[in-house]
Structure 1
Amino acid sequence: MPRNGLAIDSEDSLAIRAAWLHYAGGLTQAAVAKRLGIANVKAHRLITRATQNGAIKVTIDGDIAECVALETELADRFGLEYCEVTPDLGEEGLPIRTLGVAGAAFLRREISGGQNRTIGLGHGRTLSAAVNEMPRFDARGVQFVSLLGGLTRNYAANPHDVMHRIAEKTGAAAYVMPVPFFANTLEDRSVLLSQRGVSDVFGLAASADLKVVGIGTSRPEASLVSSGMIEGTEIRDVQQKGGVGEMLGHFFDAQGAPIETMLTERTLSIGLDDIRDARIVALAGGDEKTGAIRSVLMSGCLSGLITDERTAMALVKNEPS
């Protein structure tokens, strides 16, 4: 379901959108006016209104009517318990800025809420942006655990790993998986899993109260390939077998069915059996990821989604990626 079911005043909604564009998107008041098709003086008044209403803090509190409508439709269509649609800031490519701000706010709420003893985290550019946006605060009542191997095939560090940074920002314990995301062979995977402590981290990951993940694509330029996690021949195999979306190393076709690939038995992450009944919230968006996000939504594995307005509209309209 969306974050709330309250009726929203249209002028308040417009004021919140203007505040997002100005404070989160970095647009000048003149640029905000141009984006919204209003006079400069009205843009100024809307931003002032949001400020006077107490919406402008470290984050922006308030809802935008169009975003709430999209949240409701996505939640109903895909059976989500939680859905958040962030305003379109006009970013080119991945909407890193708007999703980073929203992801940081979500993590802060979940950490401070006291309901989660263990929070599992994936990795990727969007999750990395969310952690970068988080302020420093004390979260020592919570522990974090990586949901997947954090190294490349050559045992190099993953540039989008978030575990060390979230530990630094919160002071909380953070348990990493000191293994590659995908092993080179099935035998290598068995050896890695037999190492002292690795199986304990896998157990902790599987039992995490909340799992926050990214969503990947099966395109040749996918982050999995560019970061050195997998090779071009492997992503082509995924495509040939109908793979569209990826979550935690598991690939799904356009209808949301999991597919078997040359990577399946070599994946070092929590298994599908540990995903099905878990509380999993994905942070993902962008035109190039629409098909992948829909694929993972169709799998029924997600209980929550945080995405941007443009992507939400494409998902609702069932537009191709």
Structure 2
Amino acid sequence: MSRLRPVQLPGPASRGGARGRAAEAPAPAGDGGWAAAVSEDDQLRLVARLYYLDGLGQSEVARFARVSQAKVSRLLALARERGIVRITVTDYEPRRRDLEEEIRARLGLAEVAVLKGGGSAEPADLRRAVGHFGAPVVDGWLAAHDVVALAGGRTIHELVHQLPEAGARGLTVVQAMGSVDSSASIYDAQEIGRVLVRRLGGTFLSLNTPAFIPEKRTRDALLELGQVRNVHEHLDRARVALVGLGTLANSVFVERGTLDAAMCADLKRAGAVGEVCGRFFDARGHECPTTWRDRVIGVTLGQLRRIPLVIAIVSGTDRTAAIEAAVRGGLIKALVIDEAGAAALLAGAPTPSPKKAKK
């Protein structure tokens, strides 16, 4: 059990006396005997004093107070419940405000949150830290009755699961991209969207199509379906979007077999440096002119540019070029990132102010 200090206890006893008696106290024969003669409040204070202030282990406390070790654990919990133990912890600041200001000034973003990674460079740990500490920040950026376009992704998954259970926000959450493949994943927008509306309250509009269609003609026919048109109409009304930024090197489409080697080669030749909601873009933030562009079902880059607050939720140091290009193209307006990723971003070349991009 971790011990946090300082701990305030009413009427502390002598530190040295407690330790001396602890060494001499006989082992308990049960929960009776001497302990039974002590009032419950005194017993709670004694056990709390020995454990929190004198630093005795639970087994030592049990011998001193002549109770079982299991009862010590129960008494410590009860002491906290009754306010006999009041634990105060100096607040941990998870945000790097200095880096936030520097990124905001450098990139001209509306909102930035740079979050400490907890000392680990492991990708899973970074995603967990960004999700845990980024959730209350993003929650503060969401207003009641917002229309929210939502992408999938591992870091977004972590963040959404850490949102407070408000339950009455009245959001309309809209799936921003079709499903990557037929196998359901907890990282897909469809699954994350359901969690989001459960936690904050609202309705979820799913896009029940694949994200990528092999033929443009079939893609165009699907776009004319009433359900798909309804989703796109809601995407046009979105005030907020929660998106991730990918690259060809770590694309979920490559990982799950949707994007083959020939398509990757085409996108490389077209200068792809990043991907958002299935749309690959070049260093200027313009969509790469390949056949892939005509086969994606999801929010368009033009729609993203018109959404007032597009929040990129990113972890790791390998997205610098994608972030810079997304800013140049006006694709994102806010950034949530870990401090290592932020440092890598600031170490890069200065990013020019966004220019009017193609729709």
- Shared topology, TM-score over 0.5? yes
Encode CA deviations 1:13-52: one digit per residue, 9 max, x unaligned.
xxxxxxxxxxxxxxxxxxxxxxxxxxxxxxxxxxxxx954
Structure 2 unaligned residues grouped into runs of 5+:
1-86, 350-359
Cα displacement (A) at 1:228: 4.0
Q: State yes or no: 1:202 paired with 2:229.
A: no
2:242·2:312 contact (CA, 8 Å) conserved in 1?
yes
**What are the equivalent positions in structure 2 for 1:84-123 lying under 5 Å apart?**
84-89=113-118, 90-93=120-123, 95-111=126-142, 113-114=143-144, 116-123=145-152
Structure 1 unaligned residues grouped into runs of 5+:
1-49
Q: Cα–Cα, structure 1 residues 265 and 71, in superposed 2: closer, same or farther, change >3 Å?
A: same
Cα displacement (A) at 1:315: 0.8
Q: State yes or no: 1:156 paired with 2:177.
A: no
**What are the equivalent positions in structure 2 for 1:32-71 lying under 5 Å apart?**
51-52=88-89, 55=91, 62=93, 64=95, 67-71=96-100
Q: Cα–Cα, structure 1 residues 229 and 209, in superposed 2: closer, same or farther, change >3 Å?
A: farther
Give the one of 253, 274, 284 matched to 1:245. Answer: 274
Query: Kindly, what percent of the aligned residue pairs are identical?
Result: 26
Query: TM-score, with normalisation over the residues of structure 2?
Result: 0.66
Cα displacement (A) at 1:141: 1.7
Partner residue in 1 for 2:254:
225
Q: Cα–Cα, structure 1 residues 249 and 195, in superposed 2: closer, same or farther, change >3 Å?
A: same
Give the one of 210, 215, 235 matched to 1:180. Answer: 210
Q: Cα–Cα, structure 1 residues 170 and 72, in superposed 2: closer, same or farther, change >3 Å?
A: closer
Query: TM-score, with normalisation over the residues of structure 1?
Result: 0.73
**What are the equivalent positions in structure 2 for 1:208-287 lying under 5 Å apart?**
208-219=238-249, 221-278=250-307, 279-287=309-317
Mean alpha-carbon deviation: is it higher for 87-96 or for 188-197? 87-96
Cα displacement (A) at 1:171: 4.1
How many residue pairs are counted as aligned between the two chains?
257
Partner residue in 1 for 2:163:
134
Cα displacement (A) at 1:78: 1.3
2:117·2:338 contact (CA, 8 Å) conserved in 1?
yes
Partner residue in 2 for 1:297:
327
Mean alpha-carbon deviation: is it higher for 256-265 or for 205-214? 256-265
Cα displacement (A) at 1:212: 1.0
* Higher Cα Rg, which structure: 2
Q: Cα–Cα, structure 1 residues 263 and 163, in superposed 2: closer, same or farther, change >3 Å?
A: same
1:159·1:227 contact (CA, 8 Å) conserved in 2?
no
Higher relative contact order (CA 8 A, sep 6+): 1
**Root-mean-square deviation (Å):** 2.3
Cα displacement (A) at 1:238: 1.2
2:115·2:134 contact (CA, 8 Å) conserved in 1?
no
Q: Distance in 1 between matches of 2:330 and 2:186?
A: 29
Mean alpha-carbon deviation: is it higher for 301-310 or for 287-296? 287-296
Q: Distance in 1 between matches of 2:98 and 2:274?
A: 25
Cα displacement (A) at 1:187: 1.1
Q: State yes or no: 1:81 paired with 2:110.
A: yes
Q: Cα–Cα, structure 1 residues 120 and 257, in superposed 2: closer, same or farther, change >3 Å?
A: closer
1:93·1:287 contact (CA, 8 Å) conserved in 2?
no
Q: Distance in 2 between matches of 1:51 and 1:205?
A: 45
2:170·2:203 contact (CA, 8 Å) conserved in 1?
no
